[in-house]
């Protein structure tokens, strides 16, 4: 144990997660949207947040690009930095869930091992992996940022799906086929799961 760990003591607050959830009127958990760039993660996460907000749920979406402007602005896109990016987001979402908030993330999070490490931060049923299953071909056709074209041209190294692997979830809680389903169908699939689990009304 290093000196930093020895000198840092966890403080237990009197306002507990259970009390916060009671005040909010709903349980807190994390919806972890994962998939290739262009698979519709951010679009779906924000649409789900809008629906939950209208149901008077307290929510927050962590978007990959937004986080890279602040919390993780010091990180690059090599494998180790990408792992650290996901580690930080995992810890941040855990704090939000502790605060009684429904946290949502929209990150490629390409490595299965890193996603499982985040899952381990949460109790049973609190980490809900939503796999935005979309073919690489469709993602490249969308290519709204022009990043796939740059990666194909060798201008962007370590690009997921081109020069860096994406490890698809093997048993996600929810799988949405964002290349064949409409946005409304994907929304219904996610909300249906939450209602089935009695996480929302």
- Cβ–Cβ < 8 Å for 55, 48: no
Nearest CA to 148 out of 158, 134, 135, 162 is that of: 162
Query: Which of 109, 164, 182, 186 is labelled catalytic?
Result: 109
- 109 is an active site residue: yes
Name the one residue in this structure whose structure tokens are 């009684």.
100
- 10 Å CB burial of residue 154 (0-12, 13-18, 19+) is exposed
Q: In whole angstroms, how far apart are CA 149 and each of 38, 153, 167?
A: 13, 6, 21
Active-site residue numbers?
109
């Amino acid at each position: 144990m290093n000196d930093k760990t020895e000198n840092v003591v966890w403080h237990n607050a009197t306002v507990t997660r259970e009390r916060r959830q009671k005040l909010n009127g709903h349980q807190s958990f994390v919806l972890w949207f994962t998939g290739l760039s262009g698979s519709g993660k951010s679009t779906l996460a924000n649409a789900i947040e809008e629906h939950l907000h209208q149901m008077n749920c307290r929510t927050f979406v962590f978007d990959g690009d937004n986080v890279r402007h602040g919390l993780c602005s010091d990180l690059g896109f090599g494998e180790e930095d990408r792992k650290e990016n996901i580690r930080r987001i995992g810890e941040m979402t855990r704090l939000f869930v502790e605060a009684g908030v429904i946290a949502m993330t929209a990150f490629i999070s390409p490595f299965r091992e890193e996603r499982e490490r985040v899952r381990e931060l949460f109790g049973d049923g609190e980490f809900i992996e939503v796999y935005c299953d979309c073919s690489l071909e469709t993602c490249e056709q969308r290519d709204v940022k022009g990043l796939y074209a740059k990666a194909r041209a060798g201008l962007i190294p370590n690009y997921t799906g081109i020069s860096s692997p994406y490890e698809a979830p093997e048993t996600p809680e929810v799988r949405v086929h964002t290349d064949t389903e409409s946005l409304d169908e994907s929304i219904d699939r996610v909300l249906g799961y939450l209602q089935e689990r009695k996480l929302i009304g």
